[in-house]
Structure 1
């Protein structure tokens, strides 16, 4: 025999409205970005100093032109070692950056963004508004959003 609830319908209670958790709520707006003319050594120093794994590359108008990562820097180190040479001082971000960059909309639900991270295998996505870089969202930001959720639903 199951448990029967004799309380009946509760009056005066309204169901909670679920507000979507957006990328804009968790994106970083204090962005460490790079210029195409910077050297790979400068990028490596910045990555280490700020404990980040990469960052967007922007032009003078703050328009996104690429993204550079630890992997791009390691590739430059590996190539210089292969030729038994130090890292070339003329080796710039422009030569090493990835120019095919996927972006995310600031108004996207954070869990849709999580799926995009899984599908693309990226660690970060730039966020643009009117062609200008306004933010960056990382996998860690999605984790922070998940931890802050209260309740039993992921909506």
Structure 2
């Protein structure tokens, strides 16, 4: 027969547990500006400026992720064209996009995702489920998560 500590049981009774969102899916953007492979670079540039974004996912007709196009990709296309004083002959997203896209799991802990951003030097990671693009997490989303969690845990 063991002795039960009054303080230990009281401490456990006073423990308040609250669900704090810690997963990437809790902070990812789901309303994304996406692009198609046959979109013209000028159209992409217009969208990047209009929506104040630095890039976006490229999807096919089944909403499967097939690439990423960024400001840098567009600038490179424009620069190459101007440098060689040639018209942009192949100025579609397909010609400029990054095809080997690293994704992130929506169930990943937000702090692990922050480390992934630091290691990779990327601005955004798409989230894919069952082959379909479901969202995107950006460095700004990580900062928003950190501020939200500050109110719960940080002193």
TM-score normalised to the size of structure 2? Answer: 0.87
Separation of aligned partners in 1, 2:143 and 2:136: 14
- Structure 2 alignment gaps of length 5 or more: 1-5
SS of structure 2 residue aligned to 1:135? strand
- Aligned partner of 2:3 in structure 1 is none
SS of structure 1 residue aligned to 2:14? coil
Structure 1 runs of 4+ aligned residues shifted over 6 Å read: none
- Aligned partner of 1:146 in structure 2 is 146
SS of structure 2 residue aligned to 1:16? coil
Separation of aligned partners in 2, 1:17 and 1:49: 39
1:51 Cα shift? 0.2
- Aligned partner of 2:45 in structure 1 is 44
Deviations 1:54-75 (A, max 9, x none): 0000000000000000000000
Separation of aligned partners in 2, 1:85 and 1:25: 46
Separation of aligned partners in 1, 2:84 and 2:31: 38
Q: Where do residues 1-155 of structure 1 align in structure 2 (5 Å cutoff)?
A: 9=7, 11=10, 12-14=13-15, 16=17, 19=20, 21-88=22-89, 90-149=90-149, 150-153=151-154
Separation of aligned partners in 2, 1:71 and 1:23: 25
1:80 Cα shift? 1.0
1:87 Cα shift? 3.7
Separation of aligned partners in 1, 2:129 and 2:114: 20
1:151 Cα shift? 3.5
1:15 Cα shift? 5.1
Separation of aligned partners in 2, 1:15 and 1:148: 18
Deviations 1:106-155 (A, max 9, x none): 1111110000001111000000010000001100000000001124459x
Superposition RMSD in Å: 2.0
